[in-house]
Amino acid sequence: MSAHERLSAAISAAKESGRPALVPFITAGYPEPKDFIATLKDVASVGDVVELGIPFSDPMADGMTIQRSSFIALQKGVSLKWIFDQLDSAKGEIDAPLVMMSYLNPLLAFGYDALAERALAAGVCGFIVPDLPFEESDDIRAALEAKGLGLIQLVTPATPEARLRTLCEASRGFVYAVTITGITGGDAGLPADLTNYLDKVASFSDIPVCAGFGIRVPEDVAAVGKHAAGAIVGSALVEVLERSEDPKPFLKALLGS
Amino acid sequence: MSTLFAADEAELLLDAAIKGNMPDDRGRFGPFGGRYVPETLVPAFDRLEAGVKEHLHDPAFQAEFQKELREWVGRPTALTFAPQLSKAWGAEVWIKREDLAHTGAHKINNAIGQALLAKRLGAKRVIAETGAGQHGVASAAACARVGLSCSVYMGAVDMERQAPNVDRIRRLGAEVVAVETGDKTLRAAIDEAMREWVTDPDGIYYLLGSAVGAHPYPYLVRELQSVIGQEARQQMLDQAGGLPDVAFACVGGGSNAIGLFHPLLGDDIELIGVEAGGTGDGLGQNAATLATGTPGVLQGSYTIILQDDDGQVQETHSISAGLDYSGVGPEHALLQATGRVKYISARDDEALEALEELCATEGILTALETAHAYAAARDYAKQNPGKRILIGNSGRGDKDMPTLTKLPARIRS
Ligand SMILES: Cc1ncc(COP(=O)(O)O)c(C=O)c1O
């Protein structure tokens, strides 16, 4: 099984067990770099897939919470190289497949071939790149595909239908369905009319669909879980870590357990 | 000249740029440019691109745009001969006076053009970023003129050093949104404006103020600013009796520079862009992007940026808010790589000295941004006596009074 197929399988397995898959997001090395692996293990013990945020100086698709965590992690010296070193040191100890969420420039600076190689070795199965539209993604996609890694496409409520089909077909691992028209971290609640949107995304996708942005409470997870295979929880979890609370009970509660 | 391409490839790319065949369909100036934006904005960029194709060179749009430039902006702006500077420098110095355009800088050419476009595209409201505040003022004025509401994103650091412009923006009926995130200057203001745009990609028109960002902005802004170089070229022929040997413009994002240079690319004129050298060569001490940066993706475009080995964008320093930016327009990246335009830098103190000299000799208070071009031109004149020099005077310096009055008074020689 290739790395991106492992992602799909982990999400499908949760769905088949009768619950939505949970995909927690953390900013790598936040709030304290020394606690990174411990936090990751905790989060991976509940989550089905873990999304690791790579800090970036210009997080233009992110709201205040993730901006702040990213800024602090950078100040404390977190870099992609450091993250890979840490993951290497914890090889085999993390209970969930990983995806990295990174803006393009740190990946470009790392070099795509080197990136794919290190990612595969470190247990990373795919990448989400929020400032990389499909049209600009040939080079990185080729480098990732050569190692069986997935480039996960985002789709949004603003995506026209023809484009939606293209993106769903191109995505590997899962399809990331953004629930709102906006940035991460919103607390205005989920839009009322998610059903049609998520059902449509699912109907175009051969791989699982995970919904993200604005998912904060158990009711949100249950609501998107009816129409998507998984729920991605970012800012709400980062806020839990910001308050130095244990993430496990928070994540378990999201699943209603 | 950089080693990005072989000489023959550089020649082909440059030839395409001179003929106006850049950017290509994908918004590329050779390897530079493109469109790196969040998925939510892709349909908005597609609509903008289609709107630019439909309207920008449409005779009805052009007639309206040219009328506004003439009757509201006050174009053509003057070309001024500078007798005292010429004498002092041992050169023949001509100044293209964008400071005389309405609201006091070249920014208005782009702002009124895009505001007219926004109206045609049915925008409900306009957002804009600003560094020096000149683009904020220009956007506020242009939106008032065409009847659109306008919000201007401005870094908290810039709000302080360009305070007169903050007040002007508000008086012109626009809202000023203080940006407290990131470096609190121009780069953070662009990030924040993008975040706002993502919340309502259908209703908002983003009026970007420089030749930067994702396609089609670098192209759109260049087209709207090229009036500077077109006028200057003709005025040089009429008033000076010939083209200049060399032309200088300051470069922040690069809109006034591309506006001046683009119509001159095919002529035998040396072109020199001047970036902010800040206080020195160290990382974070300047904004000399092209001189010291490396290729990367920032705010929608693959271009030259100031970054560390991990691809994190570096903070910059410049006494001038309008040049205080870690990126640069992708067409400048190409013009540098092909060797057609040379990019150098002038330090804060050199710019200040040039500003004082211009005030004293020609009675023109220029913007701190623009002063960098004078500093470089002066150095050049000293080393190359007897040249005919054209300087793009991108804006006036009234907005810089808070910075200037804080400096110790100098004694004029
Ligand atoms: C007077 C003036 N000149 C130059 C600039 C730099 O911008 P650009 O490089 O886009 O011309 C600014 C920006 O605010 C400005 O106000």
Residues 312-331 of chain B with CB under 8 A from chain A are 312-314
Cα-to-centroid distance, B30 and ligand 1 (Å): 25
Those residues of chain A whose CB sits closer than 8 Å to some CB in chain B are 56-64, 67, 71, 74, 79-81, 103-110, 130-133, 135-136, 153-156, 158-160, 163, 167, 178, 181-183
Select from B26, B35, B42, B299 the residue whose CB has the most chain A CBs within 10 Å, as the one to mutate to test that interface: B42
Ligand 1 touching residue B253 (CB < 6 A) = yes
Q: Do B310 and A158 touch (CB under 8 A)?
A: no
CB atoms within 10 A of CB A158: 18
CA distance A81 to chain B (A): 8
pLDDT of residue B233: 98
- How would residue B411 be classed by pLDDT, with cut points 50, 70 and 90? very low
SS (H, E, C) chain B: CCCCCCHHHHHHHHHHHHCCCCCCCCCEECCEECCCCCHHHHHHHHHHHHHHHHHCCCHHHHHHHHHHHHHHHCCCCCEEECHHHHHHHCCEEEEEEHHHCHHHECHHHHHHHHHHHHHHCCCCEEEEEECCCHHHHHHHHHHHHHCCEEEEEEEHHHHHHCHHHHHHHHHCCCEEEEECCCCCCHHHHHHHHHHHHHHCCCCEEECCCCCCCCCCHHHHHHHHHCHHHHHHHHHHHHHHCCCCCEEEEECCCCHHHHHHHHHHCCCCCEEEEEEEEECCCCCCCCECHHHHCEEEEECCEEEEECECCCCCECCCCCCCHHHCCCCCCHHHHHHHHCCCEEEEEEEHHHHHHHHHHHHHHHCCCECHHHHHHHHHHHHHHHHCCCCEEEEEECEECHHHHHHHHHCCCCCCC
- How would residue B222 be classed by pLDDT, with cut points 50, 70 and 90? very high
Q: Hunting for tokens 């989400």 — which residue is that?
A: A128
Q: What pLDDT, in 10s, does the model give residues B167-202?
A: 999 999 999 999 999 889 999 999 999 999 999 999
A219 is catalytic: no
CA distance A70 to chain B (A): 11
Classify B26-69+107-221 by CATH class: alpha beta
A-chain CB neighbours of B200 within 8 Å are: 181
**pLDDT > 70: what percent of chain B?**
98
Q: What pLDDT, in 10s, does the model give residues B231-274?
A: 999 999 999 999 999 999 999 999 999 999 999 999 999 999 99
Query: Which member of B68, B92, B98, B129 is catalytic?
Result: B129
- How would residue A192 be classed by pLDDT, with cut points 50, 70 and 90? confident
pLDDT of residue B303: 98
Mean pLDDT for the stretch of residues A161-168: 98
Task: Note whether B26-69+107-221 and B74-105+226-412 share their fold.
Answer: yes
CB contact, 8 Å: B71 with chain A? no
Minimum Cα–Cα distance from A78: chain B residue: B310
Cα-to-centroid distance, B220 and ligand 1 (Å): 16
CATH of B74-105+226-412, one of 2.40.100.10, 3.40.710.10, 3.40.50.1100, 3.30.420.130: 3.40.50.1100
**pLDDT > 90: what percent of chain B?**
93
Ligand 1 touching residue B320 (CB < 6 A) = no
Minimum Cα–Cα distance from A167: chain B residue: B39
Structural domains of chain A sorted by starting position, each given as residue range(s) with its CATH number in brackets = 3-17+25-249 (3.20.20.70)
Mean pLDDT for the stretch of residues A153-180: 97
Ligand 1 touching residue B289 (CB < 6 A) = no
Is B27:B216 a contact under the CB 8 Å cutoff? yes
Q: What pLDDT, in 10s, does the model give residues B293-346?
A: 999 999 999 999 999 999 999 999 999 999 999 999 999 999 999 999 999 999
Q: Confirm whether pTM is higher than 0.80.
A: yes
Q: What pLDDT, in 10s, does the model give residues A78-95?
A: 999 999 999 999 999 999
Q: Does the ipTM exceed 0.90?
A: yes
A-chain CB neighbours of B309 within 8 Å are: 109
Domain ranges of chain B: 26-69+107-221, 74-105+226-412
Q: Do B298 and A80 touch (CB under 8 A)?
A: no
A-chain CB neighbours of B191 within 8 Å are: 58-60
Mean pLDDT for the stretch of residues B32-51: 97
Out of B26, B39, B191, closest to residue A60 by CB? B191
Ligand 1 touching residue B216 (CB < 6 A) = no
Rounded Cα distance, B140 and B135, in Å: 8
Is A240:A253 a contact under the CB 8 Å cutoff? no
Q: What angle separates helix A235-242 from helix A247-254, to the nearest 10 degrees?
A: 150
Q: Do B312 and A60 touch (CB under 8 A)?
A: no
Q: What pLDDT, in 10s, does the model give residues A12-55?
A: 999 999 999 999 999 999 999 999 999 999 999 999 999 999 99
B-chain CB neighbours of A132 within 8 Å are: 36
Select from A54, A56, A58, A171 the residue whose CB has the most chain B CBs within 10 Å, as the one to mutate to test that interface: A58
Rounded Cα distance, B78 and B236, in Å: 11
Q: Do A60 and B200 touch (CB under 8 A)?
A: no
Distances (CA, A) of B248 to B22, B92, B206, B344: 22, 13, 29, 10
pLDDT of B211 > 50? The answer is yes
pLDDT of B412 > 60? The answer is no
Ligand 1 touching residue B255 (CB < 6 A) = yes
A85 is catalytic: no
Query: Which member of A51, A135, A136, A242 is catalytic?
Result: A51
Cα-to-centroid distance, B339 and ligand 1 (Å): 23
B-chain CB neighbours of A160 within 8 Å are: 43
pLDDT of residue B1: 42
Ligand 1 touching residue B213 (CB < 6 A) = no
Rounded Cα distance, B348 and A15, in Å: 61
Q: Strand pairing of B32-33 and B79-81? A: unpaired
Minimum Cα–Cα distance from B197: chain A residue: A182
pLDDT of residue B237: 98
Radius of gyration of chain B (CA): 20
CB contact, 8 Å: B383 with chain A? no
